[in-house]
């Protein structure tokens, strides 16, 4: 996105200007995230000449590995997972020549000293010291210990904050509830300044998500009707067709609210509903997102049964094949009560949105993989077309598709050919790949480039994290106190439990079927 001007040293690192040099250290370099997302994303940036002139990647993990073995493994990863494949051998050779690996423990200093020497060697001979990025592709319990080790050895500390050179990227989940999020923030802020911390949510790197603000605030035709006068309700959906696969152990502790709502869905909610920022800068955008969350009507434990529904998938069919239920997945307890589906209704108590419900839902093993934001407008106040049944006049719906086919569509009513004055729905549809002639970049490409350039607009600030947990905690607590009576309550391959449909019907509405 690169819209937030930052200062880097005496020269200044401005909007869209990449630094001369950068050394990026990936902790957890032997893991899936590095192999499937990070290295393929960096290779694609190299392919499109979007990396600094001097650039190196240092992989750090407990595994014993030489530089050559690491490069070989990453070549396989790029071939398998890059959106472009291994497209250009010469680009790969140049990129791979700057891939290195350091084996070391996360909780003792020997490996960190070796890393310090390596990073220091990259600095030597540079007229302008390079940017240092430390990416924590690690389990959450290692975030604070690794950051503390980096600070102890002088690689990342508050004293470095003023020169803008050092950035630490932290993956989700950031805490497991409000208390643990606050404690993690406290430990991080003891050794790092907030402007050095980049909490990553890959949803924010998706091209359509970034375009929500542009679509809203750069088009005069939509912004005047983006409010309670014209909007009936909003549905935000993140449906996954896969089950928990090999993540059963993690999911047993997390559930869908921790896994999807506290981060991804609330981010989409904020971008959809927030007020215009005073500028497209990191702090201005994140200020508005924080204000929006603080305006959400508080959720109390006793209210959860009224504003939320949970579910768990059982055995069913997907794409013609029999698939297992959640309780039959590896790592899942036989009588597990962990939710794999949730639907939550939120209200925003401010001038723009008073009385407009926002329905958020997410689930595993749904009928289709789709993420979208659907703004449903109110019906016309007077029905003029007597030859049509009232139910045949569909409300206008604006849909922002986030995945799998990124784009925007608007449904409206027209008169079909013939003598009768009646109405029929049509859709204007924009697809990013068709519109721009190429597939949009992967989310991690955007986020890594922004971090290298010092733009934190698409990253999460500590106060937002705590506000998000304060909203979701009562739901998690209520569901822990009372065991569900009917789990599993929806078949794999369906659109969720019947209770979710009844939940909407009580409001005189229904879920979209994308």
Per-residue pLDDT at 67: 95
pLDDT at 203 over 90: no
Same domain, residue pair 247 and 165:
no
Cα 369 from Cα 171, distance rounded (Å): 23
Same domain, residue pair 151 and 226:
no
Cα 211 from Cα 217, distance rounded (Å): 10
Mean pLDDT throughout 191-214? 89
Tell me, yes or no, whether 455 lies in a domain.
no
Is 6 considered catalytic here?
no
Same domain, residue pair 30 and 105:
yes
Q: Dihedral, CA atoms, 253, 257, 260, 262, nearest 10 degrees?
A: -110
Query: Number of helices and strands (H, E) in the chain?
Result: 16, 18
Q: How confident is the model at residue 391 (pLDDT cuts 50, 70, 90)?
A: low
Mean pLDDT throughout 385-411? 78
The pLDDT tens digits of the residues spanning 311-337 come to: 999 999 988 889 999 999 999 999 999
Q: How confident is the model at residue 19 (pLDDT cuts 50, 70, 90)?
A: confident
pLDDT at 223 over 60: yes
Per-residue pLDDT at 465: 95
Mean pLDDT throughout 121-142? 84
Tell me, yes or no, whether 514 lies in a domain.
no
Per-residue pLDDT at 439: 73
Cα 285 from Cα 280, distance rounded (Å): 6
Which of 20, 202, 233, 264 is flagged as catalytic? 264
Task: Centre a 10 Å sphere on the Cβ of residue 251 and count the other Cβ atoms it contains.
Answer: 23
Tell me, yes or no, whether 16 lies in a domain.
no
Same domain, residue pair 106 and 228:
no
Domains: count for the chain: 2
> Is the Cβ–Cβ distance between 280 and 3 less than 8 Å?
yes
Cα 130 from Cα 136, distance rounded (Å): 19
Per-residue pLDDT at 33: 94
> Is the Cβ–Cβ distance between 276 and 257 less than 8 Å?
no
The pLDDT tens digits of the residues spanning 173-184 come to: 899 999 999 999
End residue of a domain, out of 199, 217, 233: 199
Task: Compute the mean pLDDT over every residue in the chain, rounded to the nearest whole number.
Answer: 88
Per-residue pLDDT at 512: 93
Per-residue pLDDT at 272: 96
pLDDT at 434 over 70: yes
Same domain, residue pair 235 and 167:
no
> Is the Cβ–Cβ distance between 39 and 7 less than 8 Å?
no
Per-residue pLDDT at 449: 94
Q: Which class for 296: exposed (0-12), middle (13-18), buried (19 or more C-beta within 10 A)?
A: buried
Same domain, residue pair 193 and 220:
no
Same domain, residue pair 130 and 254:
no
Same domain, residue pair 193 and 234:
no
Task: Centre a 10 Å sphere on the Cβ of residue 48 and count the other Cβ atoms it contains.
Answer: 13
End residue of a domain, out of 199, 221, 254: 199
> Is the Cβ–Cβ distance between 500 and 309 less than 8 Å?
yes
The pLDDT tens digits of the residues spanning 77-108 come to: 999 999 888 888 899 999 999 999 999 999 88
3-state secondary structure (DSSP) of residue 299 = coil
Residue 402 sits in which domain range? Answer: 205-442+460-505
The pLDDT tens digits of the residues spanning 263-296 come to: 999 999 999 999 999 988 889 999 999 999 999 9
Q: How confident is the model at residue 424 (pLDDT cuts 50, 70, 90)?
A: low
Per-residue pLDDT at 5: 31
Same domain, residue pair 281 and 422:
yes
Instruction: Classify strands 231-239 and 490-491 as parallel, antiparallel or unpaired.
Output: unpaired
Helices (H), 124-162: 143-152
Local structure of residue 73 (DSSP, 8 states): H
Tell me, yes or no, whether 265 lies in a domain.
yes
Same domain, residue pair 103 and 137:
yes
Q: How confident is the model at residue 3 (pLDDT cuts 50, 70, 90)?
A: very low
Tell me, yes or no, whether 449 lies in a domain.
no
Q: How confident is the model at residue 1 (pLDDT cuts 50, 70, 90)?
A: very low
Cα 42 from Cα 382, distance rounded (Å): 55
Cα 393 from Cα 15, distance rounded (Å): 47
Is the Cα torsion angle 67, 69, 72, 74 positive or negative in sign?
A: negative
Q: 218 Cβ partners below 8 Å, 6+ apart? A: none
Cα 317 from Cα 367, distance rounded (Å): 9
């Amino acid at each position: 996105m690169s819209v937030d001007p930052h200062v880097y040293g005496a020269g200044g690192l401005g909007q869209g200007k990449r630094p001369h040099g950068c050394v990026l250290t990936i902790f957890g370099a032997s893991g899936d995230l590095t192999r499937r997302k990070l290295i393929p994303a960096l290779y694609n940036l190299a392919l499109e000449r979007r990396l600094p002139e001097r650039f190196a990647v240092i992989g750090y993990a407990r595994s014993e590995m030489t530089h050559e073995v690491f490069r070989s493994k990453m070549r396989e990863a790029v071939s398998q997972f890059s959106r472009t494949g291994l497209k250009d051998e010469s680009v790969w050779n140049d990129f791979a020549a700057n891939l290195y690996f350091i084996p070391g423990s996360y909780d003792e200093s020997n490996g960190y000293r070796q890393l310090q020497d390596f990073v220091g060697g990259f600095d030597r001979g540079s007229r302008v010291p390079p940017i240092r990025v430390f990416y924590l592709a690690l389990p959450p319990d290692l975030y604070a210990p690794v950051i503390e080790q980096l600070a102890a050895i002088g690689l990342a500390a508050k004293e470095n904050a003023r020169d803008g050179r050092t950035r630490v990227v932290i993956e989700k989940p950031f805490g497991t509830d409000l208390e643990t999020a606050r404690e993690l923030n406290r430990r991080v802020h003891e050794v790092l300044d907030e402007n050095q911390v980049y909490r990553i949510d890959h949803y924010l790197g998706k091209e359509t998500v970034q375009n929500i603000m542009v679509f809203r605030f750069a088009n005069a035709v939509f912004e005047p009707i983006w409010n309670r006068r014209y909007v009936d309700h909003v549905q935000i959906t993140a449906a996954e067709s896969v089950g928990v696969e090999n993540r059963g152990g993690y999911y047993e502790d997390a559930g869908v609210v921790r896994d999807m709502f506290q981060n991804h869905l609330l981010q989409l909610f904020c971008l959809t509903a927030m007020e215009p920022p005073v500028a497209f800068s990191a702090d201005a955008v994140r200020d508005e997102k924080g204000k929006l969350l603080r305006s959400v009507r508080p959720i109390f434990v006793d209210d959860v049964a009224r504003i939320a529904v949970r579910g768990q998938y059982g055995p069913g069919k997907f794409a013609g094949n029999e698939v297992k239920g959640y309780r039959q997945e590896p790592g899942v307890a036989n009588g597990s009560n962990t939710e794999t589906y949730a639907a939550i209704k939120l209200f925003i108590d401010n001038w723009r949105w008073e009385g407009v419900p926002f329905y958020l839902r997410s689930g595993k093993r749904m009928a289709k993989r789709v993420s979208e934001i659907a703004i449903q407008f109110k019906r016309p106040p007077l029905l003029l077309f007597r030859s049509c049944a009232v139910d045949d006049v569909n409300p206008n719906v604006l849909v922002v598709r986030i995945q799998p086919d990124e784009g925007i569509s608007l449904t409206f009513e027209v008169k079909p050919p013939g003598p009768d004055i009646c109405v029929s729905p049509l859709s204007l549809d924009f697809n990013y790949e068709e519109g721009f002639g190429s597939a949009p970049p992967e989310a991690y490409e955007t986020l890594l480039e922004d971090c290298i350039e010092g733009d934190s607009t698409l990253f999460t600030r500590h106060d937002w994290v705590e506000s998000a947990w304060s909203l979701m905690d009562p739901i998690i607590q209520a569901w822990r106190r009372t065991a569900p009576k009917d789990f599993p309550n929806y078949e794999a391959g369906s659109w969720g439990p019947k209770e979710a449909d009844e939940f909407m019907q009580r409001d005189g509405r229904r879920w979209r079927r994308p």
